[in-house]
Amino acid sequence: MRSIMRSIIAAQGFILVAMATSSAADCNPKDFTFADVEKSNISDTVKIMSYSFLEKSRQEASGKDASASAYYEAPIGLSYSESKSLAEKTLEENKFNFDRSTVKAYVRTALSKVGASMYSDCLAAQTIHAEVNSAAYRAPAFFLDIQWTPKTVGVGAGDFSIRVINGTVEGEKHLKGSFKSQEQKQFEVSRDPDRETQISIAIDGQTYPTLEIPPVLKPVKFQFLQLQGKASVPRDAAGNVCKDFAFLVSENGSAGGPDSKSCTLCAARPTNGVLLPSTAAFQGPPESKYVHSKVTSAGDLEVCGQFYTIGPGKGGGRAEVPKGSTFSVWAAIPE
């Protein structure tokens, strides 16, 4: 699954750029969107987190998310809302219970290389650059690259300070030293992969917003099952059968009579599972003037579909949902 995800989001090289000054108000990042997430080279962890709370437009939400289908190795297409549900389930299985602001901080940190435009109002964006290798999101050690390019003429060197919470930089919790103008340095950071890591950087009086790296997300494998809908109150009458399939007949002179009939079949959410309403499907007759099918509910707990006839059929003839007509929906269950 990891190799599939890497091929989808090209999680290679550096994925983190943060830019700031001592004035936090000048370095507020811009909002980001699903489009930013899709085009960025971010980690599995952060992509899952971004899906857990980002909202798509009405038009986008109606489509399918091919990258998520591949990542979860789903045999069916997933909608964006279903990708979000599986992301939330993945975080839940990892016992990650971060509030919205924390998740946004993680995602913004990882997305900052989407472009300096995310920090376009930050004065230090033209002078200070820091990049964290993508290994930070999956390994206990990674490299932090920092370059200082002051614009003030005549500045030769400046003092720097790097502090790490839940980790060390070059073996120290708090590292101090000096940067020359235009110089780039690489530092080794070690971290506890089961805890959040925070990195604070200051150079010559300018301070980065804290870089926030989440705990390493353990992959969750999902089993995908196709559930068959069932009637809540089964019946087996002549021309009016509704059990785990439907058989409806509306016809003058038939045993079932000419009245309109309906059969609602529902699939409940499996224990610890996630229903995927966009996969709801009817295995029955095509739509016509006298025979219809429709999804009647698509919630988190239950998805239901209904077959119905409008009787009697044309000219008093037969309107029929043939015996064996079924309704199904897929669900995902963590293994």
- Let me know: does 243 contact 249? Beta carbons within 8 Å: no
* Interstrand relation of 128-133 and 14-18 (parallel, antiparallel or unpaired): antiparallel
What DSSP line would sit under 190-221, residue for residue?
EE-TTS-EEEEEEETTEEPPPEEEPPPPPP--
The confidence score (pLDDT) of residue 245 equals 98
Residue 154 DSSP code: T
Phi, psi of 83 (to 5 degrees): -60, -40
Alpha carbon distances (Å) from 74 to 44, 97, 185, 211, 239: 17, 25, 43, 34, 38
The confidence score (pLDDT) of residue 119 equals 61
The confidence score (pLDDT) of residue 103 equals 79
Q: Tell me how far the alpha carbon of residue 325 is from its chain's centroid.
A: 34
Per-residue HEC secondary structure of 261-297 comes to EEEEEEEECCCCCEEEEEEEEEECCCCCCCEEEEEEE
List, in order, residues 6 or more apart from 156 with CB less than 8 Å away: 180, 181
Q: Give the residue from 317, 315, 320 showing the smallest Cα distance to 253.
A: 317
One-letter identity of residue 239: G
> For the purposes of burial, counting CB atoms within 10 Å of the CB of 235, is it exposed (0-12), middle (13-18) or buried (19 or more)?
exposed
Separation between Cα atoms, residue 28 and residue 303, nearest integer Å = 42
pTM: predicted TM-score of the whole model, two decimal places: 0.74
26 C-beta neighbours (distance < 10 Å), count? 14
- Let me know: does 155 contact 178? Beta carbons within 8 Å: no
One-letter identity of residue 27: C
Q: How do the pLDDT tens digits run along the chain, 335 residues long?
A: 433 333 333 333 333 333 333 344 456 666 666 666 666 666 677 777 777 766 654 445 556 666 778 888 999 998 888 888 998 899 899 888 888 778 777 877 776 554 455 665 666 556 778 888 778 888 899 999 888 888 777 788 999 999 999 999 999 999 999 999 989 999 999 999 999 999 988 888 887 777 888 888 888 999 999 999 999 999 999 999 999 999 999 999 888 899 999 999 999 999 999 999 999 999 999 999 999 999 999 999 999 999 999 988 777 788 999 999 999 999 999 99
Phi, psi of 238 (to 5 degrees): -60, 120
What does the block give as tokens for 27? 């370095």
Separation between Cα atoms, residue 203 and residue 150, nearest integer Å = 10
